[in-house]
Amino acid sequence: LMRAYSACAKPEVAHKVFDKTPERNIVIYNVMIRSYVNNHSFTNAISIYKDMAVSSVAPDHYTLPCILKACSASNDLKLGLQIHCTALKTGLGSTLYTGNGLISMYGKFGDFAGASWVLDEMPYKDVISWNSLIAGYSQNARFEEALKVCERMEFLSLRPDSATMASLLPAVTNTSMENIVLVEKIFSNMSKKELAAWNVMISVYSKNSMSSEAVRIYSEMVASGVEPDVMTIASILPACGDLSAASLGKRIHEYVDVKGFTQNLSVGNALVDMYAKCGCLKEARDVFEAMAIRDVISWTSMISAYGKSGEGKEAVDLFSKMVASGHVPDSVAFVSILSACSHAGLLSEGRRLYKSMIEEYRIVPGLEHFSCMVDLLGRAGDVDEAYDHIKRMPMKPNEKIWGALLNACHVYNNVDIGVIAADRLFQLSPRESGYYVLLSNMYTKGRRWKDASLVRLAMKRNGIKKLPGVSNVEVDNVVHAFLAGDRYHPESDVIYEELEKLLGKIREAGYVPITEAALHDVEEEDKENHLGVHSEKLAIVFALMNTQPGLPIRITKNLRVCEDCHIAVKFISDITQRRITVRDTNRFHHFENGNCSCRDYW
């Protein structure tokens, strides 16, 4: 009867039955403890265990694993150590389930000496024993040690299973390529690949900026007949957003609707984020409005979507609605709204919100907030004030802050402060080519050819190469990548022929290439040719060739869109009557009928 109430999520009713039981033996106590543990009422489970000890009822090999789980979940290390002593005294410490429970507990608290000692002392170990140690290392972000345990398993001829893969999940973010290769090896050697293993691989790729691989492994999983679950969806949607793979994202959305995952908060937030990253503001807002439950993450994702598309006023309105709905904006929410103000040039609104964050919400500004304010002031042309803001910071400015100032100096040609910002950036990130290029271009705009040459000479002398521009476009559910000057694509010859025709048409319509930022030591015609083969132009031409007239085109670029391409795409959108969305490292540009959503404020 107690088990039945527990299964119905009624542990409190099970407790009433427990209280009326005249003779309580170890079975009765075990059922009551397990009832609370299975329903995540860990403090009550511990109380029952203590009552059992007072009643002089000795624990058995069913009691200890269960109560150890409660100790881990309630952060009660002291009781956990007492239980370990009890296990040793009663001879239960070497049993499989108790040993596994002890390994999990010590791992949870970061005591890996204790966890390893228990593992070594166990006369019999199973895969769960090793998985428990792997999970402990992963939960404490010690991925290297977790993978070494996997290697020990293989050395002992123990084959990792799906649970092994799942144990690695907490530590897969921003890891090394070497570690990713090891996880791939574990996955490929598995005789039976269950859903949990596929989820880990998708998550590994997605969380390490390997979005194409995440989409590939997801497609393999679906083709093999394994059905995605909530975790799969929450992991693959960010990868779709990173690639602007809106078609795949929409198919996944349809699957979500069929499976009834729509009201899952994590899935809802992932859908909003995916559509936002693809530049599909309407679809993102539709998902947002349909969500039965929204948290601060939901609101922040939508605010960020409007901000990156230059819709600053809509972002501010939504922020006000979030506050009115009773949600308290956190530090991340303020980063999103301040960034939105920056992209839209809402200087006074940004100042007001920054002041409100500090005075009303008592949030101490962090580096991200200072970066937003420097960007806000710099974009508005207040470069001197932006620099003063940096000088008043209570902490050391980071690369992003100096980068925002250098960007502003480049736009407004403030060479004096720009040189100071560039010097700080060269100290913080001496191998980052983008800062050298910005400084060189700033000199070029000011017709300081000698200084520009010295910067490029320094790049060459230090072996620093400019990061090649790469643009992605999704056509017929396949993501195609183009590099600047790329001739590796199977349709390259036709693409270049069509590009030349298109450039001719937009020149007739009034397009004049902006060659100021191109290399100054070449002829004007060569500069035009150099600009003409930028990756986004190639991707757009490919999309025009392979999609139906009138359909929107979505491009993702790994670098900031150059001024020439920005003007060229405005002309292309007008001539072809296509809506073209380009997402670069900073924001979205929605081109339509010869205009851009950024209103040239970028």
What mean pLDDT is predicted for residues 309-334? 95
User: Mean pLDDT, the chain, as a whole number?
Assistant: 90
Residues 513, 527: contact at Cβ < 8 Å? Answer: yes
Query: Strand 553-557 vs strand 478-483: parallel, antiparallel, or unpaired?
Result: unpaired
* pLDDT tens, residue by residue, 465-519: 877 889 999 998 888 999 988 888 889 999 999 999 999 999 999 999 876 555 4
* pLDDT tens, residue by residue, 190-206: 888 899 999 999 999 99
Q: What is the pLDDT of residue 532?
A: 58
Q: How confident is the model at residue 383 (pLDDT cuts 50, 70, 90)?
A: very high
Is a pLDDT exceeding 90 seen at residue 597? no
What mean pLDDT is predicted for residues 29-52? 94
Is a pLDDT exceeding 90 seen at residue 262? no
* pLDDT tens, residue by residue, 53-75: 999 999 998 999 999 999 999 99
Distance CA 370, CA 361 (A): 16
Q: How confident is the model at residue 602 (pLDDT cuts 50, 70, 90)?
A: low
Positive/negative CA dihedral, 344, 348, 352, 358 = positive
Q: How confident is the model at residue 319 (pLDDT cuts 50, 70, 90)?
A: very high
Of residues 526 and 506, the one with the higher pLDDT is: 506
Question: Can you read off the two tokens belonging to residue 470?
Answer: 């790469």
Residues 28, 18: contact at Cβ < 8 Å? Answer: yes
Question: Can you read off the two tokens belonging to residue 130?
Answer: 């090793």
Is a pLDDT exceeding 90 seen at residue 598? no
Distance CA 543, CA 536 (A): 10
* pLDDT tens, residue by residue, 222-252: 999 999 999 999 999 999 999 888 889 999 9
* pLDDT tens, residue by residue, 117-128: 999 999 999 989
Q: What is the pLDDT of residue 274?
A: 94
Distance CA 38, CA 11 (A): 9
Q: What is the pLDDT of residue 515?
A: 66
Helix (H) or strand (E) holding 591: strand 588-592
CA-atom Rg of the chain in angstroms: 29
Adjacent-strand bridge partners of 242: none
Is a pLDDT exceeding 50 seen at residue 528? no
Residue reference for tokens 């690949």: 193
Q: Of 171-175, 287-291, 446-450, where does mean pLDDT reach its minimum? A: 171-175
For residue 87, the Cα-to-chain-centroid distance in whole angstroms is 43
What mean pLDDT is predicted for residues 132-155? 87
Q: How confident is the model at residue 179 (pLDDT cuts 50, 70, 90)?
A: confident
Closest CA to 146 of 158, 132, 159: 132
Q: What is the pLDDT of residue 522?
A: 38
Q: Global pTM? A: 0.78
Q: What is the pLDDT of residue 94?
A: 80
* DSSP secondary structure of 114-181: HHHHHHHH-SS--HHHHHHHHHHHHHTT-HHHHHHHHHHHHHTTPPP-HHHHHHHGGG-TT--HHHHH
Distance CA 195, CA 184 (A): 15
Q: Please report, rounded to a whole number, the percentage of residues in the chain having pLDDT higher than 70.
A: 97
What mean pLDDT is predicted for residues 102-110? 93
What mean pLDDT is predicted for residues 337-366? 95
Query: Strand 470-475 vs strand 478-483: parallel, antiparallel, or unpaired?
Result: antiparallel
Distance CA 451, CA 136 (A): 55
Is a pLDDT exceeding 50 seen at residue 525? no
Is a pLDDT exceeding 70 seen at residue 526? no
What mean pLDDT is predicted for residues 100-115? 93
Closest CA to 196 of 131, 152, 143: 131
